[in-house]
Structure 1
């Protein structure tokens, strides 16, 4: 399998046309939706019970949300030289990477040699070249990042894959687990790495009618997607009112599904992104964001229930 850019992808401008985004985003959304519906529970250290054999009906339980202090954001520009400051995230730390889907840290031929047999097979099964190359780019970058963090070759990184883009790996030095999630939105690929289970959500307005979608609705959808990913699509009905507040950082008590910490992520234009984590976060390292990036939203009370 080759990573050589095809003319269709190489010719894409940084600001995608409406026709281009209609085809690729619709296909990407359809693929992600099918993948999320087919993936069940992971055996990560989150303590969530597996639903691989039986999926109980979704239940509505009493959920609450509490506004929390925003963590410290530290943005760094993206470079093909691995950041010297970057290290494995510790407790209460989150590491984020954002890059355009055509970006690679190494020549395409070298990145191609890093992929596992199962990754090559998954890439082969993607429905079109654009989605296939997007998947490959994400996996090459993940292996590049984790290889540097663990001090090993990217091809030697032992990624545990549950069939989607929610990955985990163990640090061979101490056995601690590391959670990785990948989200796609338009031209962007976002990777999250933490010492605790997490989920990412990125929402890009679809062509046509969704261009007029209120920004708070896109934000709610990004939060919902991140929480669903973090919960491994557990059968729980989430009160959408709790996801509609103005606070950029808050904690959700989901009863038997535990407490989850939600954080809005700064993105460009009408793109909205969020991350849900099983533990509070005090420091966020953001590689691929401009140096002056700040969290724009300010805390506000949730609407009366």
Structure 2
């Protein structure tokens, strides 16, 4: 218990002061727990509980939860899919995300990363086929520029990340994966240039991932806000819960759920 408390204090001290000003740290009913990405490399046998969301944020040059000298662990299908991408940078970003996802899940499920089997949903998001988790597990990956976000939850959720289009280092490149597959992983090519509009777009894009028929011409309407937590309304009248995430620079990111979460464990949101 004493060691856990000490580790928590170190994490708090490692968080840059300007990030602590983000409203997610002052949102009632929400515990946003920033952790260094190195903490993800520790043995972790616990899947997200109901009401909890686990997030990982890292640059495309590194693998979350893998030693720096570890080779990429991806399947032949993932390698083939990467080769269909529009550029080596975006292909590498995709492979880094998939290798990191395998490394994270291998510890949670006590399964070698190369034995994990995934299928791709119509929206391009991964779905775990083997081994079957002991309870529902929703997985989402989002990309924005050189950054990768991986999310896991006990229920369905949406995630979106983007930079205002005028500041996106990948602008001008086709979003990955190729256009023959629906892509909800990378909103950066569609985000408006105005920072406020880009933030609004990312919020509503994350909520749209939960809608039955999301469309680029229609996104859920934001109707209320409390700190970093917002409420979005579907055309059916149902409400969705959206949370803004702290991001570096001009990046924007948000997650959306049908039911609110009370805990977000955020690996990569403070210094190692």
Give the SS at the match of 2:42: coil
Unaligned runs of 5+ in 2: 1-26, 172-191
Correspondence for 2:240 among 253, 260, 266: 260
1:186 aligns with 2:145: yes
- SS at structure 1 position matched to 2:207: helix
- The corresponding residue for 1:124 is 83
TM-score of the two chains, using structure 1 as the length reference: 0.63
Asked whether the equivalents of residues 259 and 278 of structure 1 are also in contact (C-alpha less than 8 Å), the reply is: yes
Residue 99 of structure 2 aligns to a residue in which SS?
helix
* Equivalent residue for 1:224, pick from 183, 204, 217: 204
Aligned-residue Cα RMSD (Å) equals 3.2
From 75, 80, 90, the equivalent of 2:49 is: 90
Q: Secondary structure at the match of 2:62?
A: coil
CA displacement at 1:137 relative to structure 2: 0.4
Distance 1:232 1:139, change over 3 A: farther
Equivalence for 1:238: 219
The superposition leaves residues 199-228 of structure 1 with CA deviations (integer Å, 9 ceiling, x where unpaired) of: 111121223799x95543221011122122
Residue equivalent to 1:18: none
Provide, for residues 147-181 of structure 1, a one-character-per-residue CA deviation record: whole Å limited to 9, x for no partner: 11111111111223215542222685764221111
Greater strand content: 2
**Residue aligning to 2:36:** 77
Query: 1:241–1:261: structure 2 CA closer, same or farther, 3 Å change rule?
Result: closer
Alpha-carbon contact 1:262-1:274 (below 8 Å) kept:
yes
CA change 1:89–1:185 in 2 (3 A) is: same
**Is residue 2:48 matched to residue 1:110?**
no
- Point out where structure 1 has 5 or more consecutive residues left out of the alignment: 1-67, 292-305
Q: How many residues align?
A: 221
SS at match of 2:231: strand
Aligned to 1:225, what secondary structure does the other structure show? helix
Are the counterparts in 2 of residues 262 and 276 from structure 1 also a CA contact under 8 Å? yes
175 and 85 in structure 1: CA distance in 2 versus 1, 3 angstrom threshold: closer
| Structure with the greater alpha carbon radius of gyration | 1
More moved, 74-83 vs 124-133: 74-83
- Provide the residue aligned with 1:153 in structure 2: 112
Distance 1:253 1:237, change over 3 A: same
SS state at 2:107 partner = helix
* Normalised TM-score (structure 2): 0.70
**Equivalent position of 2:24 in the other structure:** none
